[in-house]
Amino acid sequence: MMADATDEHEHRFGVRREALFFSGLTLAVKAASGLGGFVAGVALDVIRFPSAAASAGGDLQLAPEVFRNLGLISGPLPAVITLIAPIILVGYTLSRTRHADILRDLDTRRDHV
């Protein structure tokens, strides 16, 4: 999709900006990683996961409700968050046909340079 979006950008504006798209993707990955760690930490605090016992090592005895809640935040919660992606992708309207038209036009432009 990134390559297709780069082609569409060149078609619309007359210049290629791969670095711009790559830097945006890199920023998104870093932001998602940071946000994921933050959400995980907050979720562990909310379920009252015993962080001091976990960092000390050894056998960790979890209360049944903490164990159940840990299962809920590591299964259904990420699944619900993942459902957001298709909603975001609704705005991506570049079809195969449209991309093929763009590639033909870009080839024509390059042949005339």
Closest CA to 69 of 89, 82, 50: 50
Task: Name the domain count of the chain.
Answer: 1
Interacting residues of 29 by C-beta distance below 8 A, sequence separation 6+? none
pLDDT over threshold 90, residue 60: no
**The whole model's pTM is what?**
0.68
Contact 2, 17 (CB under 8 A): no
Whole-angstrom distance, CA of residue 40 vs CA of residue 101: 44
Q: Which domain does 79 fall in, by range?
A: 2-111
Task: Give the per-residue pLDDT at 58.
Answer: 67
Residue 99 CB-density burial (10 A; 0-12 exposed, 13-18 middle, 19+ buried):
middle
Neighbours of 78 (CB within 10 A): 13
pLDDT in tens, 8-52: 999 999 999 999 999 999 999 999 999 999 998 999 999 988 877
